[in-house]
A and B are shown apart, each in its own frame.
Chain A
Amino acid sequence: MDEIVKDFLIESGENLDRLDQELVKLESEPSSKELLAGIFRTIHTIKGSCGFLGFKRLEKVAHAGESLLSRLRDGELTLNAEITSGLLAMVDAVRSMLGKIRETEQDGEDEYGELIARLGELQGKEESAKAGGAEQSAAAARKEGATSTGKTAGGDGPDPTKIGGVLIERGHVRPEDLASALEAQELGRRKIGEILVAQGAARPEDVLAAQQAVQSRNPEAAAETIRVGVNLLDRLMNLVGELVLARNQLLQFSNSTQDAGFQAVSQRMNLIATELQEEVMKTRMQPIGNVWNKFPRTVRDLALGCGKDVRLEMEGQDTELDRTIIEAIKDPLTHLVRNCVDHGIEAPETRKQVGKPVTGVLKLRAFHEGGQVNIEITDDGAGLNVARIREKAIERGVISAQQAGRMSDRDIFNLIFLPGFSTAEKVTNVSGRGVGMDVVKTNVEKIGGTVDVQSTAGRGTTVKIKIPLTLAIIPALMVTSGGERFAIPQVSLLELVRLEAGDSGKGIEMVQGAPVHRLRGRLLPLVHLDRELQLHIGGNKKKAEGPTNIVVVQADGREFGLVVDEITDTEEIVVKPMGKQLKGISAYSGATIMGDGRVALILDILGLAQRAQVISEAREAALAEKDEAGKKEEAGTRRQALLLVQCGEQGRMAIPLALVSRLEEFPATAIEMAGAQEVTQYRGNIMPLIRLSRVFASSGKESTVASQDGRLQVVVYSEAGRSVGLVVDRIVDIVDETLTVQNPAERKGVLGSSVIQRRVTDLLDVPGVVREVIPGFAESAARL
């Protein structure tokens, strides 16, 4: 294909995408001259180029659109939904013709006579309505006039973002010279400056000065960008992947030598490789706005189709993602947006009845957090109907009535992601057929992301998607099991637990034949990696009793523990695909090459969990029952996590960890006084401080330990949205203890005493102490 045609296609494709957005935007601010002029220019450029390249049919369609636009621009017409739809249809037609050109290098057989007639009619209709039946021919004549002026710079007025405009502005060129130069430009692809100089209408130095002025006026134009093929970027990325592997090997090698010079070089190489990796990664980053750009149009068309009034708000369009991920989330996002408009947001009458603004708001929000990208799709519609989903789930046999009663609203909401699940009363052509939400979930999970849905009846629904920034190079935890090495992607990792040899017996219990570990009072189902992967078939017997390593991971919002032989290291690994022969095994998501050149498998935590059926409903139910029983059993002698603190004369005190929202350290200078109360500024609020040593001081004299080093150790306790800081001398420890409370409540502020770590320790009555010092604490919170 001709270079020129190729350029034209790329440029026009981008222009059309922008047109979609601008037209929708124009609908909400029809008086914006700037927008209209921009739209007009875009169409005009397309029309001009097709005339030049000989795409006559395309030119005709664009011309019809241009005529309509020129009348809008000249204020002879006002924009309405009908005209917008007509113009959008024109954009679609142009797009499909461009597609044809890409395939066949011809602009197709379709003349789009109907569309052209419709566009003509739109011009006429408004005219007759306005001017009371002005003659069609007159309108046509004026239309012709408008287009011809549109061609010259005079019609547009001097455009200060173009060289010609600048020259006129400065008086270096006469408008009529520019007009003739522009006409000359339409004939050949030369720069306007060159033509002007050639015609003797301008001096070269003026043109150069004007060029600089233009570049400084629109920085986008001056930005030095070039187009690079995506394939090239992909190859670069692969090569960088190889380099990272070679770097890992080199580092391993350099650690085993004593040669200082070599070590220095490898360190330098290490830094460069890391930097290079980051930079190359950036070249593949694209703003999420590239996907969102088409949503204004989608939402508009859809809302119009179902007679709703929807405003789309977008925040964080420039949040960047790897292009492979952008591709992967395109469809799921589109589906969610359509769903919101179709099901989420109510019809205008309904909204009016319940006292909401007639216009529904659909909000897209994207932001980076913890190395991941968060995308939120929020509507202010009716929200999910918990009762209906529950009912439907029971009816479909997805869950039992008993289970349904136990499930939280959040768990119920997430049922909508099950295949074939739809609560839509009526199936529309958009959604409601029960396909979709499950596809959304699988697609997002395929790229290592998670989906969650939150909803408040009558207030709206929010779908939250979390996805990794990139897929090519990921941080992973390396473990060994049965003599083999495996990589666990860091995104699925929660924490590591090590049970010492002695403890491992009591640390692991059995529930219905399945192993579990009690982690901070919750039952964590366990999967033995070696057993799950059948690593001991060869007959090498279980190794001698040693410590047990549990890697706590999460998949599908549920946690479980993976028991492995050894946890070695975290490493940046390059994900490589495996051959077709191994695609069917869900336990792996790929393979990678380690520093020693050997291959290691990357575990697919979700696949593994499904394989081990560790997140099945039956297991869940069994665990829940056991958990309940366990709680009852423990009610007498409760085992709980306690924070041990040291404060003044009182000595050691224990605070249930459940009551502690944070541990903070403040410089003594951060204390301010509000009346007689010591306070400090904490997270934008004023937080009262209570010195525990003062509360418990028998003679009123205060311990000075706290202020010695000028820093205060503060235990933050929150209740009903208000926080209070308990100042202690020292944080001693966090212990997991069975509490047997003795001599209860002898003094104020103390619940009783217990033996913790073989020492008598008072158990602090936190709410009691707080109320003792600040009598109105809870009440004022309630008022607020």
Chain B
Amino acid sequence: MGASQQFCTFFLDGHVFGTPVPKVQEVILHQEMTRVPLAPDVVSGLINLRGQIVSAIDLRRRLGLPERPEGQLPMNVVVRTSDGAVSLLVDEIGDVIEVEEETLESPPETLQGFAREVVRGVYKLSGRLLLALDIDRVVDLRDLEKSKAGREF
């Protein structure tokens, strides 16, 4: 019997993504956001989480997935990171799923670009694949700054 782990799952463009439950602080409905001009595209804005100011990162944009259809409101998955709470905008929230460590496999070839870098691996569920995200890599936007800096100067 191998080690098992609980994953909080969510949907993005039809894919199932997940992150270990202890990483997730809370899940909240769509919040009004304050746009941050000049910020990288992936930062949708700032939300007021009970007096704390939290950046909201659009996971679709961050992973290079197509834009969310207009009129569909995202949900916030607030995750704990070394730099405090960060909100990840997802299409919809899924169940908490228990996965066996030994079913972890490397990401499929169909996953391209940055998504491939931040997906630690894939868990096979019955009939579906769960893509495990490396949250710390996702919220670290330094890779964007570098490429942006390259363009600007």
Q: Interface of A with B (CB < 8 Å)?
A: 242, 245, 482, 484-485, 533-535, 576-582, 584-585, 587-588, 591, 593, 597-601
Contact = CB atoms under 8 A, between A and B. Distances in A.
Interface string B36-69: 1111100101111001111101000000000000
A584 B148 CA distance: 12
Nearest to B37: A533
A534 B55 CA distance: 19
A591 B139 contact: no
A84 B123 CA distance: 73
B83 A598 contact: no
Contacts of B140: 580
A577 B51 CA distance: 12
Nearest to B57: A581
B145 interface: yes
Contacts of B47: 599
Contacts of A535: 37
A599 B34 contact: yes
B35 A484 contact: yes
A8 B28 CA distance: 50
Contacts of B46: 578, 591, 599, 601
B48 A593 contact: yes
B51 A593 contact: yes
A599 B48 contact: yes
A579 B55 contact: yes
A582 B38 CA distance: 9
Interface string B74-88: 000000000110100
B32 interface: yes
Given A484-B37, A599-B34, A579 B48 contact: no
Of B43, B51, B140, B145, the most chain A CB neighbours within 10 A belong to B51
A323 B135 CA distance: 36
B53 A591 contact: yes
A533 B86 CA distance: 23
Category for how many chain B residues contact A? 20 to 34
B141 interface: yes
A245 B51 contact: yes
A593 B43 contact: no
B83 A585 contact: no
A559 B40 CA distance: 29
A581 B51 contact: no
Nearest to A592: B53
Contacts of B37: 482, 484, 533-535, 587
Given A598-B32, A598-B48, A599-B48, A581 B139 contact: yes
B55 A585 contact: no
Contacts, number: 68
A582 B34 contact: no
A585 B148 CA distance: 12
Nearest to A485: B34
B38 A581 contact: no
Contact of B36 (A576, A577, A585, A593): A585
B40 A601 contact: no
B48 A600 contact: no
A487 to B, nearest CB: 12
Contacts of B48: 593, 597-599
13 contacts: A533-B38, A579-B54, A580-B83, A580-B141, A581-B39, A581-B86, A581-B139, A582-B55, A593-B51, A598-B34, A599-B33, A599-B48, A600-B34
Nearest to B32: A598
A485 B36 CA distance: 11
Contacts of A578: 46, 53, 55
A307 B38 CA distance: 54
Given A581-B141, A591-B46, A601 B36 contact: yes
B86 A579 contact: yes
A534 B35 CA distance: 12
A535 B46 CA distance: 16
B38 A587 contact: yes
A600 B45 CA distance: 10
Contacts of B34: 484-485, 591, 598-601
Contacts of B51: 242, 245, 593
Contacts of B35: 484
B53 A593 contact: yes
A576 B53 contact: yes
Nearest to A538: B35
Contacts of B145: 584
A579 B84 contact: yes
Contacts of B83: 579-580
Of B32, B38, B47, B145, the most chain A CB neighbours within 10 A belong to B38
Contacts of A584: 145
A579 B46 CA distance: 9
A242 B86 CA distance: 20
A580 B43 CA distance: 11
Contacts of A485: 34
B44 to A, nearest CB: 11
A627 to B, nearest CB: 31
A584 B39 CA distance: 9
Contacts of A601: 34, 36, 46
Contacts of A585: 36, 38-39
A593 B48 CA distance: 7
Contacts of A576: 52-53
Contacts of A534: 37-38
A597 B45 CA distance: 14
A85 B83 CA distance: 47
A593 B33 CA distance: 12
A245 B45 CA distance: 20
Contacts of A484: 34-35, 37
Contact of B43 (A482, A581, A587, A599): A581
Interface in B98-141: 139-141
Query: What are the 4 tightest A-B residue pairs by CB atom distance, in nearest-first order?
Result: A533-B37, A599-B34, A579-B55, A599-B46
Contacts of A597: 48
B15 to A, nearest CB: 23
A114 to B, nearest CB: 46
A427 to B, nearest CB: 33
B53 A581 contact: no
Given A534-B37, A581-B141, A598-B34, 7 more contacts: A533-B38, A578-B55, A581-B39, A582-B39, A585-B36, A587-B37, A587-B38
A582 B32 contact: no
B88 to A, nearest CB: 12
Nearest to B139: A581
A580 B40 CA distance: 12
A591 B54 CA distance: 10
A625 B151 CA distance: 34
B81 to A, nearest CB: 8
Contacts of A242: 51
Contacts of A245: 51
B30 to A, nearest CB: 14
Nearest to A587: B38
Nearest to A486: B37
B94 to A, nearest CB: 25
A119 B30 CA distance: 72
